[in-house]
Amino acid sequence: MKIQDHKEQLPMFITKLGHYPIVLGIPWLRLHDMAVRFASSTVTFGSQYWITHCHDPPVTVQGVTEAPPEPVYQVKEIFEPKIRPLRPFQGNIVMLNGASFF
């Protein structure tokens, strides 16, 4: 990945993400701790890690400014759940814990 004149190698997964070229993982985002300004679509790299290990001074880059395309949905089949009436419980409950619900 290249951010202005800083180059960095990082592992990435290959996937089809619509029009987004890359999705950065939480560990990388936490390490670089950049400031995202949503109103201006800018990202500023200026954390202590960035200045020490990547680039000095801080760098601000323009983010994605165009809206993603509207998704196209195709309905292949309509799912209609079968509803059955509940029967009353006929036993005794001895112990119940949170693991029972997973």
Using one digit for the tens of pLDDT, what is the confidence trace for 49-90?
Answer: 999 998 889 999 987 767 767 766 666 666 676 777 767 766
Q: How confident is the model at residue 44 (pLDDT cuts 50, 70, 90)?
A: very high
Question: Residue 87's CB: how many other CB atoms inside 10 A?
Answer: 6
Is the per-residue pLDDT at 9 higher than 80? yes
Range of the domain at 43: 1-81
Percentages helix, strand, coil for the chain, rounded to the nearest 5?
A: 20, 15, 70
| pTM, two decimal places | 0.56
Predicted pLDDT at 83: 73
Predicted pLDDT at 84: 73
Q: Is residue 48 part of a domain?
A: yes
Instruction: Give the integer Cα–Cα distance in Å for 81 and 78.
Output: 10
Q: Is residue 25 part of a domain?
A: yes
Q: Is residue 26 part of a domain?
A: yes
Q: Is residue 100 part of a domain?
A: no
Number of structural domains, the chain?
1
In angstroms, the Cα distances linking 97 to 88, 91, 92 are 21, 17, 15
Please state, for a pLDDT cut of 70, what percent of the chain lies above it: 64
